[in-house]
Amino acid sequence: MMMCTQKQELLRDVGCLRAKSPTLGIVVLRMDGLVSPVHSGFLMLAGADICLDQRAQSMEILASIQALRRRDLALKAKYLEARDRGVSPAPAETNTGLIRLSPGPVHGWTLLEDGWRLVTPGCHAVALTGAERRVLRVLLAASPNPVTREKLFSDNEGDQPTSRYIDVVVSRLKRKVALHGERLPIRSVWGVGYVFSCS
């Protein structure tokens, strides 16, 4: 995909692209001048992977795009291999504080990259925030049993979040997955909390 944008809107547009697609390779190629190290840093903080300017040679541009393509193919292969083997490399914490490995994907749902990325049964990768990661790790480890709202966050995380905060985190997770045309099987259990169950 190629996109043209005005200089003053470049940071905003790069940030929007990254927010819409966390795994997209973004190359910024400025042909109207030089990219200073500071501006390049801001663009990369906004979500760009590579920043080039008019001094870049065609081979450098091609090699940069090829490197991003290799990374994309390697990530997709990793997700597919993990799904096919039934491996879930992300550890899940139990409410006792002990660490145990998850028994594998739950009905095709898998956490990768130490739990920072959820892979759906349709092989869509969803980037997670810290709160979303914690909630999913606990729910997947306990599935198909329900988990109380209090146990969705550990005691060493300071102030316990409100029940409403956890509802917002779950709602945000469901919206993220829905963007890929899939439904996250987290249900609320009245008087208890939440359950991750595909039944």
> Among residues 193, 96, 191, which one has the least CA distance to residue 139?
193
104: left (phi over 0), alpha (psi -120 to 50) or beta: left
- pLDDT per residue as tens digits for the range 101-111: 333 445 678 88
The predicted-structure confidence for 11-70, as pLDDT tens digits, reads as follows 888 888 777 777 778 888 877 777 788 888 888 888 888 888 888 888 888 888 888 888
Confidence of residue 174 (pLDDT cuts 50, 70, 90): very high
pTM, two decimals, is 0.48
Q: What are phi and psi of 119, to 5 degrees?
A: -105, 125
Residue with the larger pLDDT of the pair 154 and 121: 121
**From residue 183, how far is each of 109, 133, 171, 180, 187 by CA, in Å?**
11, 17, 12, 9, 11
